Structure formats: structure tokens, C-alpha cells
Amino acid sequence: MTFGEQPAYLRVASDLREKIVNGALPPRTRLPSQARIREEYGVSDTVALEARKVLMAEGLVEGRSGSGTYVRERPVPRRIARSGYRTGGGANPFRQEQTAEGARGTWESRSEQEEASAEIAERLGIEPGDRVMRTRYVFREAGEPMMLSTSWEPLAVTGRTPVMLPEEGPLGGCGVVDRMAAIDVVVDNVAEDVGARPGLAEELLALGGVPGHVVMVVERTYYASGRAVETADVVVPADRYRIAYHLPVK
């Protein structure tokens, strides 16, 4: 293969992808069979199969048992606004951002204590095995799961305080900044790293995605005078949402 040439299966996948994008193969249309692809493009069964696998991995088509492979509906991506971290108001950032966007969001959560893994300990600046409060969230918009989040807070900071459980007590449901302020911990910095990866099976099951779909992951950590007081992984399905940042210029 000379420089610039693509393998045959990628050329076939590219042509089929173009037909899907331009509407020649509209949603709910059956993708040409493996035999049809082989005949139309003059390729082997292996090439035809690999081309179909590419389109499946990209989330453009889906297999239906006993029926074939069909073009999927292409959702119009919606925005998840990230507009900084405002104090006061008695609401967490998700609720604030949903209000700002005129959306109606709800969430479910579950908290439990555990020992910090090596990765979480490094992010929090504690020792592996130190106790943390882990809280898992499922966020919904109009009843549809839109975002997952798992947060960890060192119990050396919040243990035996009114804010030990993020969603319970007098400040339950408030943001990290306000909850920490209630125990005289002043959050003065937050870092977010945004990346993408294939979704884990349990994540896609919770989000209603297809195996192989890509998710965006926001790794967020709150700091107070250089000490990490909370870290979290926020997971968003990349085919349905875009993360939009609106940050003030100081």
C-alpha cells in the first residue's frame, strides 16, 4: 500500500458513511447486505464485514437480530453548559446550569464510604486506602439520562461534619463550594480535564447508548489552598451532547 492509500474496508466504509450523511441511506433504512457490498464494491466478504464493523463502531448503524443492519437515527447534539462555579443560591452547578439553559433536570444519587484507590488517592493528594465518600449520580433531562458523575471526597475533610453526605443534611444538594464553606473550607480553585474514550458497558447501559459509543469525560477537582477537597468523573454521551464552556474573563 503506497502512502496516502486507505485499506479497502475503510474506502467502503467511507463511501457508505457519505451516503448516510447525505441522506442517500436515511435513518431506519437497511444497510446493504454483506453480499451486496461485496458485489457493488468488488471486495471480499472480509472487507465487507470490516466496513460494516467500522460503521457500527461509529454509531451510524445498528444490528437487529434476525433482521439485518439499519441506519440509526442521528440525534441533534444538545449543549451542556459549563459556566463556572457560582457560590450561594443553594443549588449545585448542574441545577444552576439547567436553570440558565431553561431546562428541567433531575438526578438520583447514592453515597457510600470506601477506601481510596491509587488513582483517586493521587488526585486527592491522600494515601491509597484512606477513607473517602463516594457518591454516584445519574442526571436526567426530561426523564432521559444525560450524564453520569462519580465524586470522591476525603473523609479527613468532611467526616463527622454536617456535609459528610453530599445529598443529605441541611446543605444536601448544594454545590461543593457552598458545602465546604459551611465547614470553613474555602474552595478557591477548580481544575477540569476533558477527554474522550469508549464508554464502559455499565455507563452505556445507564445512558442508553450502544456498545462502542464514545463518551466525553470531565475529570474535575476542587481545591482549597492547594488541597484537593473533591474530585469527580463526569461522563457524557458524545453523540447526544456537547460541553459548552462560558467562562468570565478577569
User: Which of 91, 243, 224, 81 has its CA nearest to residue 153?
Assistant: 224
Q: Is the pLDDT of residue 72 over 90?
A: no
How far from chain centre, in Å, is Cα 109? Answer: 16
C-beta atoms surrounding 60 within 10 Å: 21
Using an 8 Å Cβ cutoff, are 235 and 153 in contact?
no
Banded model confidence at residue 181, pLDDT cuts 50, 70, 90: very high
Using an 8 Å Cβ cutoff, are 179 and 225 in contact?
no
User: Which of 191, 234, 198 has its CA nearest to residue 215?
Assistant: 198
Residue 189 is predicted with a pLDDT of 94
Q: In whole numbers, what is the pLDDT of the chain averaged over residues?
A: 87
3-state secondary structure (DSSP) of residue 62: strand
Query: For residue 65, what are the contacts with CB-CB under 8 A and spacing of at least 6?
Result: none
H helix count then E strand count, the chain: 8, 10
User: Which amino acid would we find at residue 204?
Assistant: L
Banded model confidence at residue 179, pLDDT cuts 50, 70, 90: very high
Q: Is the pLDDT of residue 95 over 70?
A: no
- C-alpha cell, 107: 438526578
Percent of the chain with pLDDT strictly greater than 70: 89
* Most confident option among 6-15, 79-88, 154-163: 154-163
Give the model confidence (pLDDT) of 216-247 as tens digits.
999 999 999 999 999 999 999 988 888 888 77
Banded model confidence at residue 2, pLDDT cuts 50, 70, 90: very low
Comparison of pLDDT for 166 and 100, the residue scoring more:
166
16 bridge partner residues: none
Q: Could you give all domains of the chain from N- to C-terminal order, each with its CATH number?
A: 8-71 (1.10.10.10), 78-245 (3.40.1410.10)
Q: Is the pLDDT of residue 176 over 80?
A: yes
Q: Is the pLDDT of residue 1 over 50?
A: no
Q: Is the pLDDT of residue 151 over 70?
A: yes
Give the model confidence (pLDDT) of 5-63 as tens digits.
789 999 999 999 999 989 999 999 999 998 999 999 999 999 999 999 999 888 788 88
* Distance from C-alpha of 176 to C-alpha of 183, rounded to nearest angstrom: 11
Banded model confidence at residue 141, pLDDT cuts 50, 70, 90: confident
Q: Is the pLDDT of residue 4 over 70?
A: no
Residue 3 is predicted with a pLDDT of 40
138 bridge partner residues: 108, 148
